[in-house]
């Protein structure tokens, strides 16, 4: 988990400091420097339009991490609400909400996102919202399972005895105590959201140029794969390292939580 935290922390610092770390304007076109290999003046080389790849990578980190974190935040809020209500009330409420979860799980997430983005305008806000709205089902199931166990605990019975409302019990007692597995799921979900965003951008329906993201840098790089390997290797490694970092954190949290 420590290795993952170091990786994610370093990437977060790079994203925050992008305006100061970038050695060039990431959108500045210099055709006379097109496809320059990595050098002292351009640490990761340049692309087909002569844009500095290192500058585009650090700004792309900001976009990719922002989409991953906000998308997972949306999914977590929805999953918490639906899972807590289903587990607390049970009966028909639980049955109908879980059927909704099952229905959503019938559709492969990536294809569902592709279908929605193809209809909507492919911009950063839409991508974050769509990924969030299609990724809450796992959180809902986790929270429901936790709430089914927690609602029979003594602290919930005590809250009922003093006249606490259902909403108060759910918000102040059940959801906070159900958070450990949710945090694990959210951490792993950020990695998944970054992969989905990179896939969408690679396919041309994600973040649109000239705004840099790791996905569209990869998409542009495939056109010159034979002569400019750095255009695919660098963003590909960035996605790989970021996803591994989040998975390391998630697995570390899972082991720590399971050992309690």
pLDDT tens, residue order, the chain (260 aa): 788 888 889 988 998 898 898 888 888 888 888 888 888 888 888 888 889 999 999 998 888 888 889 999 999 999 999 999 999 998 899 999 999 998 888 877 777 777 777 777 777 888 888 888 888 998 999 999 999 988 888 888 888 888 888 888 888 888 888 888 888 888 888 888 888 888 888 888 878 878 888 888 888 888 887 788 888 899 989 999 998 998 888 888 777 776 55
Answer for the pair 244, 194: CB distance below 8 angstroms, yes or no. no
pTM reported for the whole predicted model: 0.87
Q: How many CB atoms lie within 10 A of CB 149?
A: 12
* CATH number for 241: 1.10.3720.10
User: Which strand (E) or helix (H) includes residue 9?
Assistant: helix 2-16
- Domain with 66, as residue range(s), is 2-258
Q: Closest Cα to residue 15, out of 60, 73, 69? A: 60
**Phi/psi-derived region of residue 163, left when phi > 0, alpha when psi is between -120 and 50, beta in every other case:** left
| Number of structural domains in the chain | 1
């Amino acid at each position: 988990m420590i290795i993952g935290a170091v990786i994610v922390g370093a990437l977060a610092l790079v994203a925050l400091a992008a305006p100061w770390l970038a050695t060039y304007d990431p959108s500045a076109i210099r055709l006379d420097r097109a496809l320059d290999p990595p050098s002292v003046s351009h640490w990761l080389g340049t692309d087909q339009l002569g844009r500095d790849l290192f500058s585009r990578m650090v700004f792309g980190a900001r976009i990719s991490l922002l989409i991953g974190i906000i998308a997972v935040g949306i999914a977590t809020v929805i999953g918490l609400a639906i899972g807590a209500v289903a587990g607390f009330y049970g009966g028909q409420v639980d049955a109908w909400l879980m059927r909704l979860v099952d229905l959503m799980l019938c559709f492969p997430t990536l294809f569902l996102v592709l279908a929605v983005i193809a209809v909507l305008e492919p911009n950063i806000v839409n991508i974050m919202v769509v990924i969030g709205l299609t990724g809450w089902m796992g959180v809902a199931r986790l929270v429901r399972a936790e709430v089914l166990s927690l609602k029979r605990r003594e602290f919930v019975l005590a809250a009922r005895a003093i006249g606490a409302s259902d909403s108060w019990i759910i918000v102040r007692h059940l959801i906070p105590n159900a958070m450990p597995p949710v945090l694990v799921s959210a951490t792993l979900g950020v990695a998944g959201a970054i992969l989905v965003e990179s896939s969408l951008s690679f396919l041309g329906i994600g973040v649109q140029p000239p705004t840099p993201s790791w996905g569209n840098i990869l998409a542009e790089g495939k056109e010159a794969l034979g002569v400019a390997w750095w255009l695919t290797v660098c963003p590909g490694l960035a996605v790989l390292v970021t996803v591994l970092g989040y998975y390391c954190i998630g697995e570390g949290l899972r082991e720590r939580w399971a050992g309690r």
